Structure 1
Amino acid sequence: MKVTLQPSGHVIELLPGERIIDAARRLGFEAPQSCRNGNCHICAANLISGRVLQNGTERRGGELFTCIAEPLEDCEVQWENVLAPDELPLRSLACQLVDIQDLGGDVSQLQLRIPAGKPLRYHAGQYLLLERFDGELSAFSIASAPDEGRILELHILTREQNTLALVEHIRRQGMVRIKAPFGDCCLPRVPDKPVVMIAAGTGLAQMQSLTQFCLQAGFALPLHLYWGVRQPEDLYQPPHWADWQQQPSLYLHQVVSDVPDWGGRQGMLSEAVCEDLANLADYEFFLCGSPAMVYGTLDALLAAGAVEQQIHSDVFAYAPR
């Protein structure tokens, strides 16, 4: 028997005679509850369709209490504030500016402090929406790892006037409002396969969060980080790069695409990955860049034997092909 939850659209499958909230908990959902006997009303939901048995009475609509309601057939319920496994609550916070540093390559590192007593839960690799001075929202990857306390780190390219103005506005105000977390190209837990991270430009911020999370968790399998830019001047100075170079299981690759006489590695990121690694089906891939870059890399990886279900990018959600 199945219960469809709205507004999330998640579907949970119940065992015979099982109550809705018990099934949700068994399947790893986080749901509001307290008394478990229908008295506190915290777990209340609205029955949209189907039939349930509650306190010996059959119901076909209206309010129900998920801690005592047993579905008699497939149902649909409106149940707010329910989180699926690995899903985190969305928060709106006013953060204090701690510091702005120039990382080179026209990239600014912003460090924001989350308010005391209001922890932000996020997975490595997720992003936030930052409120601009005109009220619009801009997306930036969270470069810090979840276990790094109250500090959120961002890498912002300031070559365009609007992003330069945004950074200067934050500098003057000393505060900024954010919404987070967003994105499913992330690591809720340590992966069970070697990882390949492929980033263009400031997409490195997302990969920094993934890398730090894996290193802090003692991840023992190989980590490959491919970072691509158009010209050498775009290679800014990420804060952990020197430490990463000392990690025996972390392999760093910098690739420049548009300067043929550069002394380092040249070409496309996908070409570098396919040259270096055999058996791409053995790896989990994380991609960050423009939609054109991500889909071009995706096609090249699939053609070389990678498994589509093991390739992740936020581009797939916000710019589906």
Structure 2
Amino acid sequence: MRVTLQPSGAVLETQPGERILEAAQRLGHECPQSCRNGNCHVCSALLVEGRVRQEGVEHDHGEIYTCIAEPLEDCVLLWDGVLALGELPVRTFACQLSECTPVGGDVWRVRLRAPAGRPPRYHAGQYLMIERENGEKSAFSLASAPHAGRDLEMHVLVREASAQNLIEQLQRNGMARVELPFGDTHLAELPDGPLVLIAAGTGMAQMHSLIEHCRAQGFKHPVHLYWGVRRPEDFYQIEHWEQWQTLPNLFLHKVVSDLCGWEGRCGMLHEAVCEDIADLAGVHVYASGSPAMIYATLDALVAAGMDAHQMRADVFAYAPRP
């Protein structure tokens, strides 16, 4: 039977005798339910169309309990709280500060530890929102990967008063209230092909998460990292950099845009990518930086033969181009 869920739009193909909640969970959906904790009615939904059998009684409208309701024909349900495949629920954590250390380039590495017994769930490449004392929230990419469990890492560029105030707040309070996860530029599923990771400045945090996740998952395809800054001294310490250099399928490139004459590469990030990768048709590109940098990179790579759909960046969601 086909069960259509509103407002998510998800469609469940149920098996004979299968209950609706069972089908949703089998297909990978996050659903509101708390049967094991003794909280009944959490999984309730409104039957809009179709018929179901529930404890031997047929229903063709009204409230049903998806944990015991078996569809008898195609149905439409109004079931709030069901998440799309790969989507995770946003949760709030009061975390302890475990590290707040300058790592060069005016960047601080901040590590938070979530409470025991309820580890945060996120996909590699997503970001969190951290609450300031005035109630405002600021977004930071997660540099940690999901296998880190309770430990969350961020890279904070401290050149403006707002960032300095946040560091002082963390040091003063020894804790922070965060919400996560956010963002659709992630690796919920590893691609079947090479990865090209393009990071400007502290956009490296997002790429750090992606690389660590690939390493933990045993990703076999090539991974090309292009990390760009304005000046050589803007590069900051990456804890796993030396380990990364030993990986046979990980290729690391540092690029400086404003100052030539140093020992490494100079120019724009997209120029370095195009110099190294002649055929962009089969790569999966993840990019992090300012809107201007992201769209300039997109245009340059499309001109070099990449399909625009091959590139993912959070900028496309929060600063869409007309």
Q: Scaled by the length of structure 1, what TM-score is found?
A: 0.89
Aligned-pair distance for 1:13?
4.2
Look up the match of 2:52: 53
Aligned to 2:311: 311
Q: 1:161 to 1:78 in 2, by over 3 A?
A: same
Amino-acid identity (%) = 52
The residue that corresponds to 2:80 in the other structure is 79
SS of the residue aligned with 1:302?
helix
Amino acid at match of 2:256: V
Shift of residue 4, structure 1, vs aligned partner: 3.0
Aligned equivalent of 2:4: 3
Say whether 1:256 aligns with 2:244. no
Task: Give the superposition deviation at 1:261.
Answer: 3.6
Q: Secondary structure at the match of 2:147?
A: coil
What is the CA–CA distance in structure 2 between the aligned matches of 1:291 and 1:71, rounded to whole Å?
50
Distance 1:2 1:130 in 2: 38
Q: Flag the 1:248–1:88 CA change in 2: closer, same or farther, 3 A.
A: same
Q: Deviations over 1:180-227 (max 9, x none)?
A: 111111112333211110000000000001111111222222110000
Letter in 2 for 1:99: E
1:293 maps to what in 2? 293
Aligned length: 314
Check 1:76–1:159 CA distance in 2 against 1; reply closer, same or farther (3 A cut).
same
Structure 2 residue runs of 5 or longer lacking an equivalent are none
Partners of 1:306 and 1:54 in 2: CA distance:
51
Q: Which residue of 2 aligns with 1:103?
A: 103
**Retained in 2: the 8 A contact 1:46–1:79?**
no
SS of 1:297 mapped into structure 2: helix
Structure 1 residues 279, 234: CA separation in 2 closer, same or farther (over 3 Å shift)? Answer: same
Distance 1:183 1:52 in 2: 37
CA RMSD of aligned residues (A): 2.3
Q: 1:34 to 1:54 in 2, by over 3 A?
A: farther
The SS at the match of 1:143 is coil
Distance 2:19 2:184 in 1: 30
Following the alignment from structure 2 to structure 1, what is the Cα–Cα distance between the partners of residues 205 and 250?
A: 16
Select between 244-253 and 49-58 the one with higher mean Cα deviation. Answer: 49-58
Q: TM-score, normalised by structure 2?
A: 0.89
CA offsets per residue over residues 244-302 of structure 1, 9 Å max, x none? 12222111111111123444211111111011002211111111111111111112222
**Dislocated runs of 4+, deviation >6 Å:** none
Preserved CA contact (<8 Å) 1:51 1:75: yes
Sort the Cα spacing of 1:281 and 1:154 in 2 relative to 1 into closer, same or farther, 3 A.
same
- Give the partner amino acid of 1:311: M
